[in-house]
């Protein structure tokens, strides 16, 4: 009987040790699988707040015209706000195969109330050779007017 008690006692100790080890291993597994979410400071550094720019006044009008072959466009802006230094433009469109394409640039204003940017190529040019985008049906124009007043924006989609 004494031997039987010793065997049962040693089995209880062994089972207790195994349970404690399983709890410790489980704790570390759960702790290591937790996703660490970035702190607010880290998130702010990664994703800067977007700047909200007011729109330009209704007296400003914008027109976009394509040439006959739809290889180039001309941008005309009338009623440019006083004290505007320059106008940044971004044109985005879909070419054949639904490929997103775009053009960016800047127009210097030099105190004028009407400016025109001609010869804006819908495609790419290198060493005097151009490859034009085909199948362009509409162009989304985003403008940013920069001046002593700060910045103002304008957006419109044009069918060409």
Cβ atoms of residues 157 and 136 within 8 Å: no
User: Which overall architecture, per CATH, does domain 61-159 show?
Assistant: Sandwich (2.60)
Confidence at residue 13, expressed as pLDDT on a 0 to 100 scale: 78
**pLDDT in 10s for each residue of the chain, 160 residues:** 667 667 667 777 777 777 877 888 777 778 777 655 555 555 556 656 677 899 999 999 999 999 999 999 999 999 999 999 999 999 999 999 999 999 999 999 989 999 999 999 999 999 989 999 999 999 999 999 999 999 999 999 999 9
DSSP 8-state code for residue 128: T
- Whole-prediction pTM: 0.68
Confidence at residue 41, expressed as pLDDT on a 0 to 100 scale: 54
In whole angstroms, give the CA distance from residue 141 to residue 66: 13
Backbone dihedral region for residue 33 (phi beyond 0: left; psi -120 to 50: alpha; all else: beta): alpha
Do the strands 129-132 and 123-126 form a parallel or antiparallel pair, or are they unpaired? antiparallel
Cβ atoms of residues 109 and 41 within 8 Å: no
User: Residue 80, SS3?
Assistant: coil
Give the chain's radius of gyration (CA, Å).
Answer: 33
Least Cα distance to 75 among 110, 123, 111, 122 occurs for: 122
């Amino acid at each position: 009987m004494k031997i039987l008690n010793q065997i049962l006692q040693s089995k209880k100790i062994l089972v207790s040790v195994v349970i404690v080890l399983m709890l410790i291993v489980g704790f570390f597994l759960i702790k290591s699988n937790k996703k660490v979410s970035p702190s607010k400071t880290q998130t702010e550094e990664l994703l800067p707040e977007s700047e909200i720019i007011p729109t330009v006044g209704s007296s400003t009008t914008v027109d976009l015209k394509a040439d006959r072959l739809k290889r180039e466009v001309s941008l005309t802006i009338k009623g440019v706000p006083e004290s505007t230094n320059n106008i940044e433009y971004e044109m985005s469109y879909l070419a054949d195969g639904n490929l997103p394409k775009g053009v960016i640039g800047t127009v210097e204003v030099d105190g004028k109330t009407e400016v025109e940017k001609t010869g804006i190529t819908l495609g790419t040019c290198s060493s005097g050779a151009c490859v034009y985008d085909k199948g362009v049906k509409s162009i989304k124009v985003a403008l940013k007017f920069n001046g002593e007043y700060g910045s103002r924006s304008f957006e419109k989609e044009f069918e060409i």
